[in-house]
Structure 1
Amino acid sequence: MCGGFTCSKNALIALNILYVMIGFLLIGVGVYARAASIVTNLPIVGGILACGVILICISMLGLAGAVKHHQVMLFFYMIILFMLFLIQFSIASSCLAVNSEQQQQFAEQGWMTVPPELRQQVQESLHCCGFNATSSINLPTSPLAPTDEPSCELVNRKCCEQSNDVDCHCPACGPMLEDKIDYAFKLCGGLGIFFSFTEVLAVFLARRYRNQHDPCYLPARAVFPHNYLY
């Protein structure tokens, strides 16, 4: 069992180096999730990305505290890391708990908030029109539907080049984004749950290492000899 001072120090340093790599991994996953969703405003995915950035900063604090055996650094490292565990575990659980209907609601809210130029760009790249089936023919779907919905005339021409149907129009963009959004949620949630439990291990190691005595420093001794008569 790793119970000595040197072993605890090396384990804490190695774990913080691992956290730096995990932080970059979470940032990469968050960037990929945003790129895959293209237009959707997913705050949960943004939370995972923010956790990756914060985890890197905390790992630097943990590395400095482990190398110097700094009591104050290790104390704040434990407190902040435990708070990050609570936040990351909650966000990752939310990612896994979101169902397909809620994902569609998040995606539709994101579609309504982005500028028309971006919606037009997505429609041209995916050859789709509107977010759902009714908006694809430029019909209002809800009171919150954007009034500046980009025109589907040019996109419909590309989709219906080989069709003789007068009512031909491009499919909606929402179903095309559904699989990518679901994959992003599941990936972020799974990684967040797995790595959040390792943060509990880091808190335990930091607490144990902080309370251990550095063998390089001699313990304090009495200034009087043992045979001194008071």
Structure 2
Amino acid sequence: MVCGGFVCTKNALCSLNIVYTLVSLLLIGVAAWGKWFGLVSSFQVVGGVVGVGCFLLLVALVGLCGALKHHQVLLFFYMMVLLAVFVLQFSVSCACLALNPEQQNRLLEIGWNKSQNTQRDVEKTLDCCGFSSVNYNDTCAASCFTRLPPSCESCSNMLQRYTGDVLRFVGGIGLFFSFTEMFGVWLTHRFRNLKDPRSNLGAFL
């Protein structure tokens, strides 16, 4: 059977969902590893990454089950969820690529003020204190704060050195995966309308 037929489309859809499954397990594993080794102490960050991983795993399993069984309802549900994820991820990816330095700094400050655990993680990892200025009368998790005399740089300056590159990387990866999701929507729509050669052709609706 030529590629583009029932079997080839089914195998392509299964392969795509296996890739999504591996990515979801990787997200969950990285979050658990970071929490286990104390690299990330914020439960909100770890919980968010694990939540995204579990959601992607659930969607991938629904798509895989629908593809293996040629189940019309599961395939339709999978296609609609994948389309919604595509729209959201494409929008976020474009926003990441379009943010200017001033907007990046404003978003960083909002995220900084939301969680003290995140502040400690950033201070410890980047060896900096405070967001826009260093207050030596306050406490800080950075090793530079314990030196005599203490000489620390503000975390805003440290973060701005990496934020642009990180956002471009995240935006590019998100944009790439958003197009794979659109490919998955097209593939699912095509697969739903193909006849299974092993089934009773008269029973196909």
Which residue in 2 is equivalent to 1:136?
134
Cα RMSD after superposing both structures = 3.8
Which residue in 1 is equivalent to 2:168?
186
**Structure ID, larger Rg:** 1
What SS does the corresponding residue of 1:189 show, helix, strand or coil?
helix
Q: Name the count of aligned residue pairs.
A: 195
Which residue in 1 is equivalent to 2:147?
158
Q: Deviations over 1:151-194 (max 9, x none)?
A: 47x96561537xxxxxxx53222212223333332221111101
Is residue 192 of structure 2 the alignment partner of residue 210 of structure 1?
yes
Using the size of structure 2 for normalisation, the TM-score is 0.75
Which residue in 1 is equivalent to 2:156?
174
- Offset at residue 124 of structure 1 (A): 6.2
- Offset at residue 205 of structure 1 (A): 1.3
> Relative contact order: is structure 1 or structure 2 higher (C-alpha 8 Å, sep ≥ 6)?
1
Task: Give the whole-Å Cα distance in 2 for the aligned partners of 1:10 and 1:23.
Answer: 20
Partners of 1:159 and 1:170 within 8 A in 2: no
Is residue 140 of structure 2 the alignment partner of residue 104 of structure 1?
no
- Offset at residue 57 of structure 1 (A): 1.5
Which residue in 1 is equivalent to 2:59?
58
Q: Which runs of 5+ in 2 are unaligned?
A: none
Q: Deviations over 1:100-120 (max 9, x none)?
A: 2222112222333333x7646
Q: Deviations over 1:83-105 (max 9, x none)?
A: 11101111111111122222211
The AA in structure 2 aligned to 1:219 is: L
Using the size of structure 1 for normalisation, the TM-score is 0.67
Partners of 2:39 and 2:121 within 8 A in 1: no
- Where does 1:67-146 land on structure 2 (aligned, <5 Å)? 67-115=68-116, 119=119, 123=123, 126-132=126-132, 135-137=133-135
Partners of 1:89 and 1:193 within 8 A in 2: yes
The AA in structure 2 aligned to 1:150 is: D
Q: Deviations over 1:124-148 (max 9, x none)?
A: 665533222xx3257xxxxxxxxxx
- Where does 1:4-83 land on structure 2 (aligned, <5 Å)? 4-24=5-25, 51-83=52-84
What SS does the corresponding residue of 1:220 show, helix, strand or coil?
helix
